[in-house]
Amino acid sequence: MGPAARFSDEIEPRPPSVLSLAEAAEWSETWIGGKAATLARLAQAGVLVPDGFCITSVAYERFVQAGGLVRVIQSELGRKPLDQMRWEEIWDAALRLRSIFISMPIPVDTRRQILDALRGLGVGCRVAVRSSAPGEDSAERSYAGLHESYLNVVGGQDVLHAVRLVWASLWSDAA
C-alpha cells in the first residue's frame, strides 16, 4: 500500500525528487501536482499515456533552499507592503526573481535523479517539461497556461534548463 492509500492520521512521508509515473500513482497531489497525478492514475488504470516521470515539489523546495532563494524572495517582496507597490515595482521584482531562478543550478542529487529518469526514457527521447503544481488546476479553479511549458525538449542539459524555466515561470507576469 502506497503513501496515498493510507487512512491514518500519520503525516505523509516525503517522496524523492523524481518519480516514475508508476511510482507517482502512489503519492498525493501535494507532492506531484494535478497533471502528474491525473497522468499517473490514467496509466495505472491501463490508459495508454506516454512514458514519463514527475519532478516532485520536494525537488522544487530543495532548489529554493539550496540557492538561498527564500531570502532573495523575501528581500524582493519585502521592500514594502505588496498593496503599496506600484505595478512597475512588482514587475521589476518578478523579473529579477525569474532571472535568478533561471541562472541558479539545480542541486546535484536532484540533477542526477532527473538525468537518470531521462536516460530511462531512452536516448534522444523528446519530452514535455510542464508545471504540475499542487492546486494548479481543479474543479474550483483553473490556471491552465499560467506557467510555461516546453515541448520536444531533447537532452539532459536542455531538460534541466527547461525545468528551471518552468520553475521561474512562477514569477511570470501572468502568474
Q: Which helix (H) or strand (E) holds 156?
A: helix 156-168
pLDDT in tens, 23-33: 999 998 889 98
SS3 state of residue 19: strand
Place of cell 497533471: 35
CA proximity to 59, closest of 19, 26, 29: 19
Contact between 148 and 165 under an 8 Å Cβ cutoff? The reply is yes
Cα–chain center distance at 96 = 20
> According to the model, what pLDDT value does residue 145 have?
62
Predicted local confidence at residue 79, as pLDDT: 84
User: What pLDDT score was predicted for residue 49?
Assistant: 93
What is the enclosing helix (H) or strand (E) of 29?
helix 29-44
- Cβ distance 158 to 165 under 8 Å? no
Q: What is the dihedral of CA 74, 54, 24, 136, to 10 degrees?
A: 50
pLDDT tens by residue, 110-155: 999 999 999 999 989 999 999 886 666 666 666 666 678 899 999 9
Cβ 159 vs Cβ 118: under 8 Å: yes
